[in-house]
Structure 1
Amino acid sequence: MSQKITMQEIADRLSVSKYVVSKALSGKSGVSEATRQKVVQMAGQLGYLAQKKPNTPLADSDKRWVSNGTEEGRSTVLVLMPNIRHQTKESSYWGKILDGISKELENRGADMLTLTLNSAEGLNSSLRPQGLAGVIGVGEISRSLLLEVQRLGLPLVLLDHDDPFISADQVFANNRDSAYRIVQYLLGLEHRSVQFIGNTAFSKSFRERWQGFREALEEAGIAYLPETFQKLLHLEQLDAQVQEEQIREALRPHLGRTTLPSALVCANDRVASAAVAALHSLGVSVPDEVSVTGFDNIEADYPNLQELTTVNVIKEIIGKRGVDVLFWRMANRDLPAETILIRGDILVRKSTVTPRIHDLPHELSRT
């Protein structure tokens, strides 16, 4: 029988402490990304991942999944979350999804290994796939990496990401329905000039939010004229200051006219923050002159948005459901891929009010 590889041996090979190895392999904070990658690579080379087994008892239902869906000893789940587009553990959005994954895997007695690489070469050099039960992808991931995961035959679940060339289970917030409902709320406040802000090519989530926005307006019989505000649908940068400038320049020509929208529906809270800043710099009051809504509910990242009307996406639930789906897929390899949609709740706060024109006496509003 070959000698069992321990965390201490990995630590000795890298001249670090066993504590560092433990934190790196569990995906916990407090370890630099460079050190984490070295630990993961060494663990893979030594065969540590292939010998891992659950360190806590599994529930009866999970025993069935493991016995039917994985080989003996394969109890580690790889979580891919490339460090792009603000996809970091520190993010109030992505970090909470990761927390949901971690907690649910712990409940099931499985180990979690996180990697921030975004290339197939990095995957092959970092670990041995025979030590993995499956893979959860969080956020945008390169197609080449996802194709490599599929080539290895590992069960795959994608959270908040879609690729037309990849057949995998997916978990999303119900973006279209939530955007539809937040526009319905604005229409109930008697807004009739509403515009969407956000690059519709940025992600599937953004496209679906825009589609829900359009659907609500069309259903209400309200004309939507995107040509006048094309720049608002094509924000070019992720940088908040650049987005603020782009929004400001798109809205500036409409100051002093009747063409300034009475409400702006933003693709997420990050965009909403830039929109509020742009409006304030133009001397436009929020919400007295223009109402603003967001999406995701990440006010912890933006203290100035604590009163923003937004859609509350329960990020931890997306992570938890991702684990649920992965374990189900382990036992049902031959069934078609599924997409799970998590409903969001509209949080009504102080950034949205009835348009000012409706505060006038009825006789004046007709003149």
Structure 2
Amino acid sequence: MAKDTTAGGPVTRRGASQADVARIAGVSGQTVSRVANGARYVDPATRERVLTAMREVGYRPNRAARALRSGRFQSIGVIAFELSSVGTTHTLDAIAAAATETGYAINLLPVLDATQDAVRAAFDQLGEQAVDGIIILVETHRLDGVAVPEGLPVVVVDSSAQYDYPIVDNDQAHGARLATEHLLDLGHETVWHVAGPELSYSARRRRTSWQGTLEAHGRTVPPVLAGDWSTASGYEAGLRLADNEEVTAVFTANDQMALGLLRALHERGRRVPDDVSVVGFDDMEEAAYFWPPLTTVHQSFDEVGRGAVDALIREIQSGDHEHQEVLVPPRLVVRASTAAPRGTNA
């Protein structure tokens, strides 16, 4: 902290106040307070002038004092599992960006082993910290028997949730239907499926939708090959599928398994898409650079993350806890890994 030298020796200068910021920025103290509290309805030029003045004098809003006055901490707790997964990573990025834009800080608590005890401990920890609400990025089967903290607004990013809270998610069933129908429309007699883990809601919804789409079109439903989201499990499934000449089209439950599948097919001499067409799910950034570039289902993780923050802030500000479900529709991205089966003109 800066010091002034006087006849009586060095003395500590008082911290900068809102009045100092208001004087330098040429605005009222109320305007400074609104900027410090992250209020939306401040003219952008005025907001920037106030922020510049804050930096100039070294003013730091006192979050604790502000919370005592308003009853809010301007902080959101996020409980998340599988931080390395494509969906979780992109959704967290969107949550952080949306929260920052609305003046909220993020308190992230990773649940590394996703046991009920670990989830319960995360809830307890957030309950002891200064957060205004919680976003849950843990599939709800891992929450069985775990009581969600009472008195806090909650939003769940998982449309299998049975809680009386707002829910935001990608429409998994619609995405799987797009993938399966794309391959059928190209002229393939049926579509094989490499599924995700049985306990995963997303994997189950994609598998159920794939099967229902085939049945709706009067097609044979082949046996499911189970994976675990990893490239290695896609590779193992691909080795089994490559030896079956009847396999001409495969829908994998995520792009990482599709990558393993592509390698297995290549090693066994099955060309993609000449011999086998492949569709993934997620549209991870690398999917466009697979060989061949992967046809896949694009999930709008950005829209899901921002939707979760918007829903939570509405709860925080209104005090109402209304159950609502928002499903974001995915879209099919067609690239070079799919084509009509050999010998057809589709």
Q: Normalised by the size of structure 1, how large is the TM-score?
A: 0.68
Q: Which secondary structure state, in structure 1, belongs to the residue aligned with residue 168 of structure 2?
A: strand
The answer as to 2:214 corresponding to 1:217 is yes
Task: Assess if the C-alpha contact under 8 Å between 2:169 and 2:328 holds in 1.
Answer: yes
Cα separation, 1, equivalents of 2:166 and 2:141 = 17
Q: Which secondary structure state, in structure 2, belongs to the residue aligned with residue 112 of structure 1?
A: strand
Where does residue 174 of structure 1 map in the other structure? 171
Q: Report how many residues are paired.
A: 281
Alignment of 1:196-345 (within 5 A): 196-199=193-196, 201-224=198-221, 226=222, 229-230=223-224, 232=225, 234-235=226-227, 237-252=228-243, 254-255=244-245, 260-300=246-286, 303-304=289-290, 307-330=293-316, 331=318, 333-335=320-322, 337-345=323-331
Cα separation, 2, equivalents of 1:321 and 1:339 = 11
The answer as to 2:56 corresponding to 1:59 is no
The answer as to 2:110 corresponding to 1:113 is no
The verdict on how the C-alpha distance between 1:99 and 1:124 changes in structure 2, with shifts beyond 3 A counting, is: closer
Where does residue 132 of structure 1 map in the other structure? 131
Deviation string for 1:6-50 (max 9, x for gaps)? Answer: xxxxxxxxxxxxxxxxxxxxxxxxxxxxxxxxxxxxxxxxxxxxx
Q: Which secondary structure state, in structure 2, belongs to the residue aligned with residue 94 of structure 1?
A: helix
Identity %: 25
The code of the aligned residue for 1:96 comes to H
Cα separation, 2, equivalents of 1:222 and 1:107 = 49
Where does residue 151 of structure 1 map in the other structure? 149
> What is the aligned counterpart of 2:184 among 180, 183, 187?
187
- How far residue 159 of structure 1 moved from its aligned partner, in angstroms, is 1.6
**Structure 1 spans left out of the alignment, 5+ residues:** 1-52, 62-69, 361-367
The code of the aligned residue for 1:77 comes to I
Cα separation, 1, equivalents of 2:300 and 2:184 = 25
Task: Assess if the C-alpha contact under 8 Å between 1:299 and 1:305 holds in 2.
Answer: no
- How far residue 339 of structure 1 moved from its aligned partner, in angstroms, is 1.8
The code of the aligned residue for 1:192 comes to E
Greater Rg, structure 1 or structure 2?
2
Task: Assess if the C-alpha contact under 8 Å between 2:191 and 2:249 holds in 1.
Answer: yes
Q: Which secondary structure state, in structure 2, belongs to the residue aligned with residue 147 of structure 1?
A: coil
The verdict on how the C-alpha distance between 1:115 and 1:167 changes in structure 2, with shifts beyond 3 A counting, is: same
Cα separation, 2, equivalents of 1:192 and 1:272 = 20
The code of the aligned residue for 1:151 comes to P
Q: Which secondary structure state, in structure 2, belongs to the residue aligned with residue 115 of structure 1?
A: strand
Cα separation, 1, equivalents of 2:35 and 2:151 = 21
Q: Which secondary structure state, in structure 1, belongs to the residue aligned with residue 73 of structure 2?
A: coil
Cα separation, 2, equivalents of 1:145 and 1:132 = 23
Q: Normalised by the size of structure 2, how large is the TM-score?
A: 0.71
The code of the aligned residue for 2:104 comes to A
Q: Which secondary structure state, in structure 2, belongs to the residue aligned with residue 261 of structure 1?
A: coil
Cα separation, 2, equivalents of 1:142 and 1:107 = 32
The code of the aligned residue for 2:177 comes to Y
Task: Assess if the C-alpha contact under 8 Å between 2:92 and 2:305 holds in 1.
Answer: yes
Cα separation, 1, equivalents of 2:288 and 2:38 = 41
Q: Which secondary structure state, in structure 1, belongs to the residue aligned with residue 343 of structure 2?
A: helix
Deviation string for 1:320-341 (max 9, x for gaps)? Answer: 0010111223325343x22211
Deviation string for 1:122-156 (max 9, x for gaps)? Answer: 436745546211001124377459834x2343211
* Greater strand proportion: 2
Cα separation, 1, equivalents of 2:216 and 2:241 = 27
Cα separation, 2, equivalents of 1:211 and 1:100 = 28
Q: Which secondary structure state, in structure 1, belongs to the residue aligned with residue 293 of structure 2?
A: coil
Task: Assess if the C-alpha contact under 8 Å between 1:267 and 1:294 holds in 2.
Answer: yes
Q: Which secondary structure state, in structure 2, belongs to the residue aligned with residue 295 of structure 1?
A: strand
Where does residue 73 of structure 1 map in the other structure? 72
Task: Assess if the C-alpha contact under 8 Å between 2:175 and 2:297 holds in 1.
Answer: yes
The code of the aligned residue for 1:109 comes to G
The verdict on how the C-alpha distance between 1:54 and 1:275 changes in structure 2, with shifts beyond 3 A counting, is: farther
Where does residue 343 of structure 2 map in the other structure? 357
Higher relative contact order (CA 8 A, sep 6+): 1
The verdict on how the C-alpha distance between 1:249 and 1:209 changes in structure 2, with shifts beyond 3 A counting, is: same
Cα separation, 2, equivalents of 1:301 and 1:177 = 20
Superposed CA RMSD in Å reads 3.0
The verdict on how the C-alpha distance between 1:302 and 1:310 changes in structure 2, with shifts beyond 3 A counting, is: closer
**Structure 2 spans left out of the alignment, 5+ residues:** 1-33, 43-68
